[in-house]
């Protein structure tokens, strides 16, 4: 007999506005404790020094985490010219210096070179595994892990303002696996300078933005009132915006729950599946709630992940 999880069957997303200095896992644990939820996970790690959106999946929403992590992300960050660090942020040790202070015109001239599919070497203080160990663990042992360049996508990069001679603020929109700290390092080097991040804030993750966010302190205060908490507990469907959806009847939903495919070749189904391609992910809905994440092919949908809530 399966062991029953402790806590309440809470299902949905809470978007935490993470404070500086906290790790992502402790935030997940705090949210789970505040809401007394049975299960929780997060949709994309934030460095401890970073602030901003940390989506927390609760209950059956944990089955949709990968779709959030695959989504587009946006960040604001501040670069300080003059010093490059091993971590590419203010917490790291100095590895190089430069007297070069790029002008606004010089910065604007190189930004387009970082937009599109680019190659990027992650910082040595990252969660990437090297010979079975996390790069940051090797770095803390005094070793210098060799990390290979990877293809990542930068959708947009904007200079927001030149704060003063030593600081400039930017905004970047990017895809999965993109390191803003590496971007800061590489941008400075292309300008013949050195720099590191002094601030990093995530302002968008997939379909979530700052309008959805709440701080841990606020969530803790509202936890005593179910109605207040409900305001910030977002439905699972919100995380899946942009993915094709099909509304099913009870019989079709039951088939998916049992791991069986659902045929969509009836005449009344043909308009609904127009435009779908083999291999497309499709959300199966019943009464507005997600029954399963499915894959389309050969005129049917087959369940990938079945949700029960």
Give catalytic residue positions: 47
* Residues whose CB falls within 8 Å of the CB of residue 171, separated by 6 or more in sequence, listed in order: 74, 75, 76, 77, 156, 157, 158, 160, 203
Distance CA 9, CA 37 (A): 6
| Rounded CA Rg of the chain | 22
Sign of CA dihedral 182, 184, 188, 194: negative
Distance CA 72, CA 239 (A): 12
Provide the 10 A C-beta neighbour count for residue 102.
22
Q: What three-state secondary structure class fits 185?
A: helix
Joined together, the tokens standing for residue 226 give 């179910």
Q: What does the angle CA 213 – CA 219 – CA 225 come to, to the nearest 5 degrees?
A: 125
DSSP string, 53-95: EEEEEEGGGGGGHHHHHTS-EEEEEEEEETEEETTSBTTS-EE
């Amino acid at each position: 007999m399966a062991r029953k999880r402790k806590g309440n069957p809470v299902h949905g997303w809470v978007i935490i506005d993470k404070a500086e200095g906290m790790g992502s896992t402790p935030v997940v644990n705090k949210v789970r404790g505040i809401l007394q939820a049975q299960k929780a996970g997060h949709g994309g790690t934030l460095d401890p020094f970073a602030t901003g959106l940390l989506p927390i999946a609760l209950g059956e929403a944990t089955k949709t985490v990968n779709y959030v992590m695959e989504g587009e992300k946006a960040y604001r960050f501040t670069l300080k010219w003059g010093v490059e660090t091993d971590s590419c942020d203010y917490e790291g040790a100095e590895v190089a210096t430069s007297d070069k202070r790029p002008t606004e015109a010089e910065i604007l001239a190189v930004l387009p070179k970082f937009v599109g599919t680019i190659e990027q070497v992650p910082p040595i203080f990252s969660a990437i595994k090297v010979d079975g160990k996390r790069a940051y663990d090797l770095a803390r042992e005094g070793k210098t892990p060799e990390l290979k360049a990877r293809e990542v996508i930068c959708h947009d990069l904007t200079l927001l303002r030149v704060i003063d001679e030593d600081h400039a603020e930017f905004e970047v929109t990017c895809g999965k696996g993109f390191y803003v700290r590496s971007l800061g390092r590489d941008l400075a080097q292309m300008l013949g300078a050195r720099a590191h991040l002094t601030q990093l804030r995530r302002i968008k993750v997939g379909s979530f933005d700052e309008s959805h966010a709440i701080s841990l302190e606020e969530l803790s205060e509202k936890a005593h009132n179910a109605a207040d908490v409900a305001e910030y507990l977002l439905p699972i469907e919100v995380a899946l915006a942009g993915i094709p959806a099909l509304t099913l009847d009870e019989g079709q939903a039951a088939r998916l729950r049992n791991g069986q495919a659902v045929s969509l070749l009836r005449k009344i189904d043909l308009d609904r599946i127009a435009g779908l391609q083999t291999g497309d992910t499709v959300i199966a809905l019943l009464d507005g709630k997600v029954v399963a994440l499915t894959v389309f092919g050969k005129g049917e949908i087959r369940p990938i992940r079945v949700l029960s809530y």
